[in-house]
Chains A and B, each alone.
Chain A
Amino acid sequence: MRRQRGLIRLIGLAALVGVAFVARPAVAAVTTEQSASILIFPKVIADGARDTIIQITNTSNSMRHAHCFYVNGAPTIPGQPPGGFICKGGALNGLSCNPRVAGICGDNAVCEQVNPPLCTEIDFDIWLTKQQPTHWVVSTGRLYPSFENTCRVGNCDTTSGPAGGHPCCDAGLDPGRVPPVVPGFTGELKCIEVDAGGAPLPGNSLKGEATLEEIATGDVSKYNAIGLKGLNPNNMDNVLCLGHGGGANCPGGPEYEGCPATWILDHNAVGADDLVVREGSSVGANLTVVPCTENFELQSTPAVTLQFSITNEFEQTFSASTTLTCWASLNLETINPIFQAKNLQGSVVQTRMRAAASTPVGVTAVIEETHTVGAVTARSAQNGHTTLVTPSQEPADIITIPAEQLNSNP
């Protein structure tokens, strides 16, 4: 009996040692080509000129649920671009400021962004049977079960062909009611895998893609959703800890892989000739960035200052920076003129992007190039790279979901 007890203790000890071995350092392991528990679509557009098709698939052999958020990053004053941060009130009224420096604007004044993004969120639930793919158009949503006559027929007649089909754009098992976005939407979509009761689950079963389409020309660009893998243990509460653990909000350590501290983006210098067309052509680049830390309960997102290190093909390095809140889609030349070919004296560059030390918030990003010749344009989107061994952003990024949203059955 005593021997058996000793044996059990030894096995228990060994199990603990084993667990200690598997406790992985918080390295950044965002992925754009493996199934994950959190999917981030940084660039979702439905502004009348462009629309977006979302595809999400359950890659597991069990039914999976997801709780999704649209975050509207459209500027507060439509039609005008978001501006920089300036002091409002006080002696420094109208002067630019850094929102992360407390009291920078003096007494009775605040540091605020000019025409900031709305940062409003709407959420909804989807559920997918085993291996089920689904899709929807962002401007229309997916409102009706396909077996009813009310499904959106539109121009999606799939009945032609020898085997017939289903005369419905939204044919398929109903994934749930996906709402349309508001007109003029420019923002992000984030989907978090949850269990049937709505609690976050590290199932790593979701993958996704976004197709951005210009309605007038049919021009398309496509990128893979950025995935954050879920880890064990996960206390399944409404505070999701990404990467580095610790602190009052994450006593149990990381629940998801962290966002990377550094992104690597290759792109053409703005205004460089398109290599295929050459004369009369140019290439532009647009960078869309969303912070990994988001508080959907308070609808607040911390400002993050991004530092860019830009290396051209002549081994020359330049730098730039910008500040954003919940969402930003920036043409690179608006961040800093150094991104222009005439200033870089090169045509292709490697840009490294990280959060400034004073604003330690991880970000995710996607870059979209615009190739232009005369009145003709073509876009292509690319996922960024992360370094192989870069640690994740420290401290942990945190996504806070309103608790009551987790209690409703999806």
Chain B
Amino acid sequence: MGKVRWAGWTMAVATAFVMSSGQAARADIASDKPAAIVVYPDVVVQANTDTVIRLTNTNQTTPIDVHCFYVNANLECASGVCVPKCQETDFNIVLTEGQPIEWLASDGLADDGLPLAFGVCQRNPFQACGSNDDCNPRPGGNCTHSNAGTRIPPVPENPFRGELKCIAVDATGAPVARNDLKGEGLIERFDTDPAVLDVASYNAIGIQAVAGSATSDNVLTLGGTAGEYNGCPNFLILNHFFDGAADPVPGTDNEISTNLVLVPCSEDLLRQIPGAAVVQYLVFNEFEQRFSTSRKVTCFQDLPLCNIDTPSCGRSIFNVAVAGTLTGQTRMNAIGVAPLPSGLLGVAVEHHNGDNTDRSAAFNLHMQGSRSTADTITLP
């Protein structure tokens, strides 16, 4: 009798647990909410193109320290084989309460270019300071918050292709679980003859810290059973025009193509080991017909869709003539592989190419699910 009652209570507790955990609100990475890590997958600097980086502290009451990394993905070629360098350059930023800043990737931001290059002593507003120590013993008081300590270098090479990753840290440089950062990347191209200005913008992808669990060590765990940050998505979903599609807007004469930019969630910035994954692409056209292909991504990928499966665009499953409809849905599942198995994040850049114009628009990919395997970012 006692055993039966015990079994009953056990089942009851188990049922309650299942009911409560089955639909528990899963935390997902989001590019439309502030986060502790923000990832700008596509940073471009070349002859007539540059990237404006915006970064904002959404916390209206507390300043925030940020540790950022440019990952240089310029190709390095040897014996006819080219691979991304995957070399990091890091720097620190201090943002005051609610402060937005922006800088040009090719220029960086430092010294007098900073909005609040130094603070002032509260008891003597004519005394510049970088910290409270500068105000003591005389004239005393605290130093007002400023961007002192910030020095954003230009990207390490010109031309440059790669990503930017910024992480919320404390004054000692240790990661903190503060979901206060948001950002945008604006890729701008300006030709003077003929004059063409083109702007494509996307939201930086936010990786939210799990409340109270971000540790102060140098290995950040994304997802998994002991995740300090939300896990990377299982699937990335891209709605796109098939490459070579004619612009359906009456009165236009453009051809549409899309570049897919992918970066790994896992990165060992200490040993310069890039994350890697084989991406399984499932492609659906408007007839519900399905195609698939796969390709490995290591460190960084920026490819026209039709070059994912073949160098010959006309034969690609992403080509409009092969697909047979103007638009499609592509679902991407990253299977982590050596040297550092990783999930992926990304953005898409859609190009509308006319006789004399190339106009583009960037947008964020949709995400579905959360990887069961943890990703890790190892800081120097």
B186 to chain A, nearest CB (A): 6
Please tell me which one of the listed residues B99, B197, B198, B203 contacts residue A382 in the complex, with CB atoms under 8 A apart: B203
CB of B327 within 8 A of CB of A385, answer no
B88 at the interface (CB under 8 A from A): no
CB neighbours of B290 from chain A (8 A): 131
Segment with Cβ contacts to A, from B164-172, B216-224, B251-259, B336-344: B251-259
CB neighbours of A264 from chain B (8 A): 34, 56, 58, 182
CB of B101 within 8 A of CB of A348, answer yes
A215 in contact with B32 given A14-B15, A348-B100 (CB within 8 Å): no
- The interface size bin for chain B is 35 or more
Please tell me which one of the listed residues A154, A217, A313 contacts residue B101 in the complex, with CB atoms under 8 A apart: A313
Segment with Cβ contacts to B, from A18-26, A71-79, A114-122: A18-26
A157 at the interface (CB under 8 A from B): yes
CB neighbours of A266 from chain B (8 A): 54, 56, 100, 182-184
CB of B288 within 8 A of CB of A213, answer no
B136 at the interface (CB under 8 A from A): no
CB of B315 within 8 A of CB of A350, answer no
A297 at the interface (CB under 8 A from B): no
CB neighbours of B303 from chain A (8 A): none
Please tell me which one of the listed residues A22, A35, A129, A139 contacts residue B250 in the complex, with CB atoms under 8 A apart: A139
CB neighbours of A140 from chain B (8 A): 250
- Bound Cα distance A170, B311 (Å): 28
A273 to chain B, nearest CB (A): 11
A251 at the interface (CB under 8 A from B): no
CB neighbours of A131 from chain B (8 A): 284, 288, 290, 329, 331
B82 at the interface (CB under 8 A from A): no
Please tell me which one of the listed residues B7, B19, B197 contacts residue A373 in the complex, with CB atoms under 8 A apart: B197
CB of B361 within 8 A of CB of A350, answer no
CB of B24 within 8 A of CB of A22, answer yes
A101 at the interface (CB under 8 A from B): no
In the complex, the chain A residue whose C-beta lies closest to that of B11 is: A11
CB of B314 within 8 A of CB of A162, answer yes
CB of A24 within 8 A of CB of B286, answer no
- Bound Cα distance A21, B13 (Å): 13
CB of A22 within 8 A of CB of B19, answer yes
A298 at the interface (CB under 8 A from B): no
A275 in contact with B104 given A165-B321, A207-B237 (CB within 8 Å): yes
CB of B34 within 8 A of CB of A33, answer no
CB of B363 within 8 A of CB of A222, answer yes
A160 at the interface (CB under 8 A from B): yes
CB neighbours of B249 from chain A (8 A): 51, 53, 137, 139, 213, 215
- Bound Cα distance A57, B361 (Å): 19
CB of B16 within 8 A of CB of A17, answer yes
CB neighbours of B324 from chain A (8 A): 158, 164-166, 171
A388 in contact with B33 given A57-B329, A157-B246, A276-B50 (CB within 8 Å): yes
A376 at the interface (CB under 8 A from B): yes
A56 to chain B, nearest CB (A): 8
A170 to chain B, nearest CB (A): 8
CB of A380 within 8 A of CB of B186, answer yes
- Bound Cα distance A306, B47 (Å): 42
CB of A137 within 8 A of CB of B321, answer no
CB neighbours of B54 from chain A (8 A): 266, 348
B226 at the interface (CB under 8 A from A): no
Within 8 A of A (CB), among B169-194: 179, 182-184, 186, 188, 190
In the complex, the chain A residue whose C-beta lies closest to that of B28 is: A34
In the complex, the chain B residue whose C-beta lies closest to that of A63 is: B288
CB of A386 within 8 A of CB of B195, answer no
- Bound Cα distance A21, B5 (Å): 24
Within 8 A of A (CB), among B290-327: 290, 314-315, 319-327
A216 to chain B, nearest CB (A): 8
- Bound Cα distance A131, B320 (Å): 18
A381 in contact with B352 given A57-B329, A159-B321, A348-B54 (CB within 8 Å): no
B128 at the interface (CB under 8 A from A): no
A374 at the interface (CB under 8 A from B): yes
Within 8 A of A (CB), among B216-264: 237, 239, 244-254
Q: Which of B16, B50, B244, B246 has the most CB of A within 10 A?
A: B16
Q: Which of B20, B32, B329, B366 has the most CB of A within 10 A?
A: B32
B365 at the interface (CB under 8 A from A): yes
CB of B8 within 8 A of CB of A55, answer no
CB neighbours of A379 from chain B (8 A): 199
CB neighbours of A222 from chain B (8 A): 350, 361-363
CB of A217 within 8 A of CB of B363, answer no
CB of A10 within 8 A of CB of B314, answer no
CB of A155 within 8 A of CB of B246, answer yes
A332 at the interface (CB under 8 A from B): no
A161 at the interface (CB under 8 A from B): yes
A378 in contact with B199 given A14-B19, A51-B250, A218-B354 (CB within 8 Å): yes
CB of B284 within 8 A of CB of A158, answer no
CB of A169 within 8 A of CB of B200, answer no
Please tell me which one of the listed residues B25, B34, B183 contacts residue A387 in the complex, with CB atoms under 8 A apart: B34
CB of A158 within 8 A of CB of B326, answer yes
A369 at the interface (CB under 8 A from B): yes
A377 at the interface (CB under 8 A from B): yes
- Bound Cα distance A55, B188 (Å): 25
B357 at the interface (CB under 8 A from A): yes
A223 at the interface (CB under 8 A from B): yes
Q: Which of B96, B239, B253 has the most CB of A within 10 A?
A: B239
Inter-chain pairs besides A277-B188, A376-B197, A377-B197, 13 sampled, C-beta below 8 Å:
A17-B20, A21-B16, A32-B364, A33-B30, A33-B32, A131-B329, A137-B250, A165-B321, A173-B287, A211-B350, A276-B50, A315-B97, A376-B195
Interface residues of B (CB under 8 A from A): 1, 4-5, 7-9, 11-20, 22-25, 28, 30-35, 50, 52, 54, 56, 58, 60, 96-104, 115-116, 145, 179, 182-184, 186, 188, 190, 195-203, 208, 237, 239, 244-254, 284-288, 290, 314-315, 319-329, 331, 350, 352, 354, 357, 359-368
Interface residues of A (CB under 8 A from B): 3, 6-7, 10-11, 13-15, 17-19, 21-22, 24, 30-35, 51, 53, 55, 57, 59, 129-135, 137, 139-140, 154-166, 169-173, 207-209, 211, 213, 215, 217-224, 264, 266, 268, 274-277, 311-315, 317, 346-350, 369, 371-388
10 smallest CB-CB distances across A and B, nearest first, come from A18-B19, A172-B286, A161-B321, A21-B20, A222-B361, A313-B115, A14-B12, A14-B16, A380-B201, A14-B15
21 A-B pairs in the complex with CB atoms less than 8 angstroms apart? A7-B4, A11-B11, A14-B13, A18-B19, A34-B28, A35-B368, A51-B251, A131-B331, A133-B285, A215-B251, A220-B360, A224-B366, A266-B182, A266-B184, A346-B115, A373-B195, A378-B197, A380-B361, A383-B203, A386-B33, A387-B34
